[in-house]
Amino acid sequence: MYEVVEFVEVRGHAAPTETVVGVFSDESLAVEGARRARAGFVGSGRDDYAWWIVRTVGKKVAAFIADSKSAKEFVLDLTTNELVEIA
């Protein structure tokens, strides 16, 4: 099981909010869910900074990362511990 988690840095708040926006049985479905959540946030016109991750339920390592200020998407290469941009 994979979860999509949205983090939002709201101006004036010390820490970002963390919200699970969906749980999926397949990683590719979770990535699509994260992309939909990002598109909805960006389309809303909000100026807060947000990012979305896909991770295995209960884990702290992200398999997919995207944010609200760019169109770039990343995965974590666990062999090198480096973020790799994906097309």
pTM assigned to the model: 0.81
Q: What is the pLDDT of residue 44?
A: 95
> What's the pLDDT score for residue 35?
94
- Output the pLDDT for position 49: 92
Distances from the Cα of 82 to the Cα of 27, 47, 55, 77, 78, angstroms? 20, 28, 16, 5, 7
pLDDT in tens, 71-83: 888 887 767 777 8
pLDDT digits (tens, 9 = 90+) for 19-72: 999 999 999 999 999 999 999 999 999 889 999 999 999 887 778 888 888 888
Task: For residue 32, report the phi and psi dihedrals to the nearest 5 degrees.
Answer: -65, -40
Number of independent structural domains in the chain: 1
Query: Can you tell me the distance from the alpha carbon of 87 to that of 6, in angstroms, rounded to the nearest whole number?
Result: 21
Full residue range of the structural domain in which residue 24 is found:
2-86
